[in-house]
Amino acid sequence: MRDVAPAPTRRRALPRNDPRQYDDLAGEWWRPDGVFAMLHWLAEARAALVPPADRPGALLVDLGCGAGLLAPHLAGRGYRHVGVDLTRSALAQAAAHGVSPVNGDATAVPLADGCADVVAAGELLEHVPDWRRVVAEACRLLRPGGLLVLDTLNDTLLSRIVAVHLGERLPTVPKGIHDPRLFVDDRELVSECARHGVALRVRGVRPEVGGLLGWLLRRARGAAAPAGRAPRIVPTRSAAVLYQGWGVRKG
Ligand SMILES: C[S@@+](CC[C@H](N)C(=O)[O-])C[C@H]1O[C@@H](n2cnc3c(N)ncnc32)[C@H](O)[C@@H]1O
C-alpha cells in the first residue's frame, strides 16, 4: 500500500459545495475523529447493502468515491473496486486503500455500458448540480441484474435545518460542504431511477443517538480520550433528512 501523507488541514474561504474544499480537507479523510467521521459510519452502512460478488471478476464502481472509505468494508466480498472522482487528492488516497482510481466526472463516466455488477454513489448526489445525469450514468454502467446503492440528503426544510444549520456546528460535518439547493427529493429520485430501469427502495437512516452523543463527548474531551466505538447508522422511520436507496437494474 502506498503511503499518501496529505498536508495538514488549511482551509480557504470557498463557496458552498466548491469541490476545492476536498483538497483543503485532504488530511481529514482517514481520521476517524476528523470532519469526515460520519462518512466512515455511512460507508459501513452502505457496504452492508452490498452482497458478496456472485461471479469471479465482479466490478463495483464507486461514483464520487472520495478517499475510498468504502474499501475496508468491502474487503473479502470479491469485487474489483473502481472509484470515480473529480478530486485527485482524494483519489490518491483511495488508490492507497486498494481502489482503482478514475479521475472523472460522475455525470460522464469514462467506463463501458453494463460493466458494473454494483454501482455505489455514497453522499454524492447532493453535491452535483445535475444529479439526474449521475443517476443516468449509474444506471447505464449497471449490467442487467446489477445493484445500485446510494445515500444522500433529502430536499426538505428539516434536512436543511439538521444537515446544514445544526450539522455544520458539529465536528462531523465540514462547514460549507453542502449547498442545500442541491439536496435530492426522494420521490423524484425513485422516479428517475425507474425511468432508467432501476426499482429503487429508500429508507431513512440516522446515527444511533447514544453512540453519537458518546462519540461527541469523547471527541470534546480531546485527542487523549479513547476513540471508542463509532456510532452505527440505523434505519429510521422518516426519510426526510438522510436516506439510503438500493435497487436492481431490470434484466
Ligand atoms: C461527501 S464526499 C463523499 C465521498 C465518498 N463517497 C464517501 O462517502 O466517503 C463527495 C465526493 O464526491 C466528489 N464529487 C463531487 N462532484 C463530483 C462529480 N461531479 N463527479 C465525481 N465526483 C464528484 C467529491 O470530490 C468528493 O470526493
Does residue 170 lie within any of the structural domains? yes
Q: What is the pLDDT of residue 221?
A: 82
Instruction: Return the residue whose CA atom lies nearest to atom 14 of ligand 1.
Output: 64
| Residue 145 three-state SS | strand
Q: Is the CB of 17 under 6 A from ligand 1?
A: no
Does residue 45 lie within any of the structural domains? yes
Ranges of residues in the chain whose predicted pLDDT is under 70: 1-11, 223-228
CA of 66 to the centre of ligand 1 (A): 5
Could you tell me the residue range of the domain that residue 99 belongs to? 20-248
Give the relative orientation of helices 186-195 and 131-141 as an angle to the nearest 10 degrees.
Answer: 40
CA of 143 to the centre of ligand 1 (A): 23
Q: Is the CB of 124 under 6 A from ligand 1?
A: yes
Q: Is the CB of 22 under 6 A from ligand 1?
A: yes
Q: What is the pLDDT of residue 1?
A: 39
Q: Is the CB of 45 under 6 A from ligand 1?
A: no
Does residue 14 lie within any of the structural domains? no
Does residue 194 lie within any of the structural domains? yes
CA of 236 to the centre of ligand 1 (A): 25
Q: Is the CB of 83 under 6 A from ligand 1?
A: no
- Cell match 463527548: residue? 217
Does residue 134 lie within any of the structural domains? yes
Backbone angles phi, psi at 210, to 5 degrees: -60, -45
Task: Provide the whole-model pTM.
Answer: 0.93
The CATH number linked to 37 is: 3.40.50.150
CA 31 to chain centre: 16
Q: What is the pLDDT of residue 231?
A: 92
Does residue 1 lie within any of the structural domains? no
How many domains does the chain contain in total?
1
Q: What pLDDT, in 10s, does the model give residues 10-50?
A: 667 888 989 999 999 999 999 988 889 999 999 999 999 99
Does residue 230 lie within any of the structural domains? yes
Does residue 5 lie within any of the structural domains? no
Please give the helix or strand (H or E) that residue 242 lies within, else none: strand 242-248
